[in-house]
Structure 1
Amino acid sequence: MRSTENVGLMSQHFLLSAKARTLSLAKVARLSDDEAYDAFRLIRWAATDGAPVCPRCECAAVYTYTTRRLFKCKACSHQFSVTSDTIFASRKLPVRDYLLAIAIFVNGAKGHSALQLSRDLDCQYKTAFVMAHKIREALASEAHGAIASGEVEVDGAYFGGYVKPANHKGNRRDRRRIINQNGKRRVVVIMRERGGRTLPFVFKSEDASLVKIAQTVAPGSVIHADEATHWDALHARFLTKRINHSESYSDGDACTNQAESFFSRMRRAEIGVHHRIAGDYLSAYAGEMAWRENNRRISNGEQYLMVADAALQHPVSRQWKGYWQRNS
């Protein structure tokens, strides 16, 4: 048994410390419409201390309407609001609800389901589903074109495509064989810098990721991978260290434990929150979990501001604007 003195000397996990809690959902929920509007305005136009700037011609000279919360550019006569040309364009909910949705989203250590978000905001499931995916798109866009360098761990994990076994044992087939699969199974391949960012990509198979790895990992980097044969091709381009997981998870020189840590987060999100992370939206969930993994040592208040800023700087989503009208 550990002594009380030793327990007191143990370092506290960051998520359990007071530094991790700088955001209060209660404070966000108590914001008045004017306070929420001002917060949105300050976040979007932080460079001008909240003064509106035309999103079309970037002119700072605007007219302000007294009857509606709209602005009109003096240069090009374009009318715009605080959410025009952002991921939240054509919004229907009050701006306070979007701030509250962002606060709820960042407080979910393993993610937050659309069903639970719809209950928290008292809105339709469809509204919460699209809102959550708009936030994921804004977060994932920050990693577009990013390059991994230094010590990079590469690994893959399969999601989706579950085939339920037949009821009677005699009718069951080996679901590992391609002929007995449904073709929906996809692999998330992760490229994770040690002490740096996490970059996820989705492919049909791990070997299909080799070209993307060559494009994403900087020359001169050191790659850590397991003993899967398709990673043999990496030796021609990078210094590659391999670990045989049938013998150990780390041999003091090579390991992919940080990549496995990311997949652990995704598995817990799938099992405990979303229950199904697959299909066309697998890359969106992978991008969200990569963002959470990259910013796990940042307080929830800072995460809140990062997400709000990413959403208000992101252009209109071509995938999610009018989503349910196209998929009714």
Structure 2
Amino acid sequence: MTEDEARSLFRAIRWADTDGEPVCPRCGCFAVNEYKSRPIFKCKGCGHQFSITSGTIFASRKLPVRDILLAIALFVNGAKGMSALQMSRNLDVQYKSAYVLLHKIREVMAAETADATLSGEVEVDGAYFGGHVRPENRKEDRKDRRLKENQTGKRRVVVVMRERGGRTLPFVFRSEDQSVATIRAHVASGTTVYADEASGWDELHATYETKRINHSLAFMDDGACTNQAESYFSRLRRAEWGQHHHISGRHLHAYAAEMAWREDHRRVPNGTLFTAVVDAALNAPVSRQWKGYWQK
């Protein structure tokens, strides 16, 4: 695909209602001039100059449009995600460019379920990530890393709410019991909640019909299980170990949201996923976190 073909595809997806004809993102005017010397447009109504990525999450980009499309195609194709280092090699760009680009795509994925509410049957579970404490060489010098005084304080827990046959919502906390208020905000009343025997879920009994499973005795008992939540954690853990090797607590929520998106769309063809991500990215607002990230 050439750069011109990539731009035509971008235009067709972003301005699908006008068959690829540009629309001013500032005033919505259809009367737009296209410069011949530069790949930008100018609105006849307000005089605003814009490009095919202006006002989107790819605003102020420097990468060619062709590379952005290739990055999205490669990214959605990975079952366990893709590291920025691998993407930088595939695109032949700097690591920093690939790093920011992939986080923008993750931001688009997370926005899909930002206001979602789960109902019916929902599984709730938590898993801890990060905060690794390297053991001492000699056995007599080693400390019990389970004790709080011997931890780094960087460890975070990802709490996932997964609707059976529906969506997956992950959130990051310092401990499981801090997630109860968030669970109540995103899980509708009248929902049947399945959880394990961790004490952090005891408060859920006051709001939901809660069924618990003691994993020390069984993985499933009369329909009570958290197998789908565990399936999500398996994907997230493999992404951490096999792709990224380390995920900082600062960005753990982005990787957790990415894996939730992959779990929810695991049966969807790659071509459909590619078009959906491009469409969502071109309709997403400018990223406040990642635009000009390296320039602070």
TM-score, normalising length: structure 1: 0.89
1:21 counterpart residue number = none
Equivalent position SS for 2:7: helix
Matched ranges for 1:219-230 at <5 A: 219-230=189-200
What's the offset of the Cα at 1:138? 1.1
Decide which of 218, 231, 235 is 2:201's aligned counterpart. Answer: 231
2:211 to 219, 241, 257: 241
Displacement of 1:70: 1.1
Give how far 1:301 is off. Answer: 0.4
Counterpart in the other structure of 1:14: none
Determine the structure 2 residue equivalent to 1:120.
90
Query: Given the alignment of the two structures, is residue 61 of structure 1 paired with residue 28 of structure 2, yes or no?
Result: no
Q: Which amino acid aligns with 1:58?
A: G
Q: Give the one of 159, 179, 187 matched to 1:189.
A: 159
Shift, 1:268, TM fit: 0.8
d(CA) in 2 for partners of 1:75 and 1:234? 55
Query: Quick one: which amino acid aligns to residue 129 of structure 1?
Result: Y
- The one of 128, 144, 149 equivalent to 1:158 is 128
Give how far 1:45 is off. 1.0
Secondary structure of the residue aligned to 1:309 is helix
Runs of 4+ in 1 over 2 A off after TM superposition: none
What are the equivalent positions in structure 2 for 1:25-174 lying under 5 Å apart?
Answer: 31-174=1-144
CA offsets per residue over residues 92-124 of structure 1, 9 Å max, x none? Answer: 111000000000101111000100000000000
Q: TM-score when scaled to structure 2?
A: 0.98
Match for residue 6 of structure 1? none
Distance 2:149 2:124 in 1: 28
Q: Deviations for 1:245-290, whole angstroms, at most 9, x for unmatched residues?
A: 0011111321100000000000111111111123100000000000
Structure 2 unaligned residues grouped into runs of 5+: none
Task: Give CA deviations for 1:2-42 in whole Å, capped at 9, x if unaligned.
Answer: xxxxxxxxxxxxxxxxxxxxxxxxxxxxx011111100111
Contact kept in structure 2, 1:157 and 1:187, CA below 8 Å: yes
**Partner of residue 266, structure 1:** 236
Distance in 1 (CA, whole Å) between partners of 2:221 and 2:166 is: 22
**1:296 and 2:289 correspond:** no
Letter in 2 for 1:238: Y
Structure 1 CA distance, aligned partners of 2:238 and 2:181? 29
Q: Does 1:310 align with 2:280?
A: yes
Match of 1:20 in 2: none
The residue type equivalent to 1:112 in the other structure is M
Q: Residue 26 of structure 2 aligns to which amino acid in structure 1?
A: R
CA RMSD of aligned residues (A): 0.8
Whole-angstrom distance in 1 between the partners of 2:23 and 2:222: 54
Amino acid at match of 1:176: R
Whole-Å Cα distance in 2 between the matches of residues 169 and 260 of structure 1?
Answer: 33
Q: Which residue in 2 is equivalent to 1:216?
A: 186
Aligned-residue sequence identity (percent) comes to 67
Aligned residues: 296
- Does the CA contact (< 8 Å) of 1:175 and 1:181 recur in 2? yes
Which consecutive unaligned segments of at least 5 residues does structure 1 have? 1-30
Secondary structure (helix, strand or coil) at the match of 2:144 reads coil
CA apart distance, 1:208: 0.3
**1:315 Cα shift?**
1.2
Paired residue for 1:5?
Answer: none
Give, as a single letter, the amino acid of the residue that structure 2 aligns with 1:170: E
